[in-house]
Chain A
Amino acid sequence: MSEIEKLLNPSDFEAFQKKIVEGRDPNRTAVAVCSGPGCLAYASGKVFDRFKVELLESGLAEEVTLAQTGCHGFCERGPSVVILPDEICYLRVSPDDVKEIIETTLRGGGIVERLLYKGEDGLPVQKESDIPFYKHQQKVVFGDNKRIDPRSIDDYIARGGYTALVKAITTMSPETVIAEVKESGLRGRGGGGFPAGAKWEATAKPPADTRYVIVNADEGDPGAYMDRGILEGNPHSVIEGLMIGGYAIGANEGYIYVRQEYPLAIDNVLYALEVLREIGLLGENILGTGFNFDIIVHKGAGAFVSGESSALMSAIEGRVGEPRPKYIRTSISGLRGKPSCLNNVETWANVPLIINKGADWFKSIGTEGSKGTKIFSLVGNVKNTGLVEVPMGMTLRQIIFDIGGGIRDDKEFKAVQTGGPSGGVIPEDMLDLHVDYDELYAAGSMMGSGGMIVMDKDTCMVNVAKYFLEFLSDESCGKCVPCRDGIDQLLEVLQRLTSGNALEEDLELIEDISLMMKECALCGLGQSAPNPVLSSIKYFKDEYIAHIAEKRCPGGVCKALIAYTIDKEKCIGCGKCMKVCPVAAITGEKKSPHKINNALCVKCDSCYQECPAKVQAVTKIRQADVITAFATSEEAANE
């Protein structure tokens, strides 16, 4: 921050903003080292440290801004370093590349070509936004990450930060703010897709002395990290949205419920709040408008069910985060019995944009029933994993193939899963479905909070359904019987399926249990728990039947049903499989075909993974076929 000065009125803010903007040279060189969770795992921290040291040594430290920013999105090729203002994007940067980047690019104005993205045609791509992964995205909420140091409120304000808040509290009545959000068509990004404006209105309406606004940053979907990406990289955007909501709804206190597994997000938010209090954008009588507002951060202690609205509020009260029956909505009686409005991180982050650019602008993006953009965590067996932001209405095919680059190792596509443990799978022939709340719901899945998990042909759909149920069985709070016992009953059936002991009737049993749970469970967890199973039966019934009738796992995943063998014709006798086998089940002479002793094999898959891609001699067969093979050879031996 430039210097600590308390902003007492709107013109103070204007002057403050003007000073920041005018003090900046738009052509100044800046180095944005991504510190999103993906890049950090690739040791981007060391890249940043090296830049710090080398910039000083090169004497360029004064001329170049260096920042450790939030996630840029392209996690697959991390660590990512973007040089502004030209947006030169270097990927897979190691500390040892830093010196060259400084000398060639920062000092010399040239390009380090080997660190650029190379397209299918082998040609290097210089500018970040020209890389196919980014080119098809529309980054509205998530785009500023590389331009903002999450610890610098100046960076946020230079990008127009807090002007929406000031506009709202100085020129708009709470009712007009709500009307604008309603008009925008913004729907909740946390799963259900409830219209945000309507929820705000419902919370503002009942007479009450206190109301609360709350950010849901519990991010319970086990395969997603987009809320983390926003909160770590651009905490002010969420805070500003929350403050606007507080003003519109008539709340003086806001909460940010963030899972404690996200320490960097927590630190960045706490730091941001401290700065806001210091300059008077948070606290009593903000900018002299009479609006009082403060924010408390509550760390979530880890329970999926605590992401549910009533459960989350009980957790903030210091109790066990279990849901309650919602005869009365939390918008009427929520935290401490007061009207409370809970929205997801991404929902709040959209609010400042709507206030600044207007509902009409927001509505211009998306489909009839789903407006704006959506951030997805595009992961699984896809080539380009990362966080992507796309306009609503884009097809799943475009996301997976144009942005995601298709399936890893050029395997065949099998399914894509959205909506996490409450969602479902979508098969290949439905890939032209649009990203749209209602379309995805009608297909038996849901938008969810943004997990998008791509599955290749080597995925077992029964196993995936079982995975989600195991997760939910662990996470069900156990308060209501339909959920607690329903999940375990479903799980039992799935265990029979994956071990080859299921009967045809079991599929009907699944339907019956599922129906009961949907109708009777207390909260969304139990009501939606059957979705992953039901949707996979709907679209991949043949796989279920194969497990039952043929005791075969088409994905080659279910241990009880598969066995490993080496194709004599293909094996080149390189010995790699023999070396990795932990139980010495593989034998063979160098350069001659190897053999697996199935009686010893523990099916760890090591040999399968180790066998060179060009050879592919290790193959999976039906366990049932091995037993017969053994039986016949034993019979032969006995004779």
Chain B
Amino acid sequence: MTQDKIDQIIDKFEAKPRALIMILMDIQHHNRWLPKEALERVSERLGVPLAKVQQIAAFYKTFSLVPKGDHELHVCTGTSCHLRGAQKVLDTVYEVAGIRPGETDSESKFSLTAVNCMGACSLGPVMMVDGQYHGRLAPSKTEDVLKNVK
């Protein structure tokens, strides 16, 4: 992400310290993670200490401090999906891609995030792959879904 783009986002919020969270969310949205340089730039432009920017970035779930892989896996670990076997979906992802929630594999193919209820409980357990829902995931089906991601 270029400094120009970061500055654009900061300018959109008039570099107001109050908008710190919104600014970080916008950067996260565009870049899919928050590089150190981006945090430094935000700190500098908003006049907020870097430690505080980092504190916010570490506190909220939305922010990632490491780069994301090419494909984003969102496994629902909401209560309903938990009852219907979300843990097995996570286990299968681990077997196939070797990653746990919050991680990206070494080839940067997959990033895995565990999320709360997606409102698709009737399909549970559910996993979203790049925005596409996959439901009723038995371990073998999870494996098939992952193997079909190009």
Contacts and interface: CB of A to CB of B under 8 A. Distances in A.
Interface of A: 36-38, 40-42, 71, 75-76, 78, 220-225, 228-229, 260-261, 298-299, 301-303, 306, 315, 317-322, 377, 379-381, 385-386, 417, 420, 451, 453, 455, 459, 464, 467, 477, 580, 582, 604-606, 609-610
Contact of A453 (B80, B115, B133): B80
Contact of A223 (B24, B121, B138): B121
A565 to B, nearest CB: 18
A582 B119 contact: no
Given A299-B22, A315-B21, A318-B19, A417 B59 contact: no
Contacts of B119: 36-38, 41, 71, 75, 225, 228-229
Given A320-B55, A582-B143, A41 B83 contact: no
A38 B83 contact: no
B121 A604 contact: no
A225 B91 contact: no
Range, interface on chain B: 35 or more
Contacts, number: 139
B38 to A, nearest CB: 15
B83 A303 contact: no
19 contacts: A41-B120, A41-B123, A71-B119, A75-B121, A223-B82, A224-B79, A301-B60, A303-B60, A318-B17, A318-B18, A377-B121, A379-B79, A379-B80, A380-B84, A381-B84, A385-B80, A582-B140, A604-B139, A609-B139
A468 B73 CA distance: 22
A610 B61 contact: no
> What are the 4 tightest A-B residue pairs by CB atom distance, in nearest-first order?
A223-B79, A37-B119, A302-B61, A301-B60
Contact of B120 (A37, A221, A260): A37
Contact of A75 (B18, B122, B143): B122
Interface in B29-66: 55-56, 59-63
B28 to A, nearest CB: 9
Nearest to B88: A605
Contacts of A386: 122
A377 B123 CA distance: 14
A222 B20 contact: no
Nearest to B123: A41
Contacts of B78: 222-223
A222 B116 contact: yes
A146 to B, nearest CB: 17
A40 B131 CA distance: 11
Contacts of B18: 317-318
Interface string B80-96: 10111100100110010
A425 B79 CA distance: 13
B104 interface: no
Given A37-B119, A377-B117, A379-B122, 17 more contacts: A38-B120, A41-B120, A41-B133, A75-B122, A221-B79, A225-B121, A299-B22, A299-B25, A301-B56, A321-B59, A380-B80, A380-B83, A453-B79, A580-B139, A580-B140, A604-B91, A609-B138
Given A38-B122, A301-B60, A261 B83 contact: no
B122 A76 contact: yes
Scoring B61, B63, B79, B95 by chain A CB atoms within 10 A of each residue's CB, the highest score goes to B79
A377 B121 CA distance: 9
A303 B56 CA distance: 11
B111 interface: no
B79 A318 contact: no
Interface in B99-140: 115-124, 126, 133, 135, 138-140
A455 B82 CA distance: 11
A320 B18 CA distance: 11
Nearest to A606: B139
A229 B117 CA distance: 12
Given A320-B59, A609-B138, A455 B83 contact: yes
B123 A260 contact: no
Contacts of B121: 38, 75, 223, 225, 377, 379-380, 385
Given A41-B118, A42-B123, A301-B61, A467 B82 contact: yes
A222 B77 CA distance: 8
A263 to B, nearest CB: 10
Contact of B138 (A36, A320, A322, A610): A610
A420 B82 CA distance: 13
Contacts of B25: 260, 299, 301
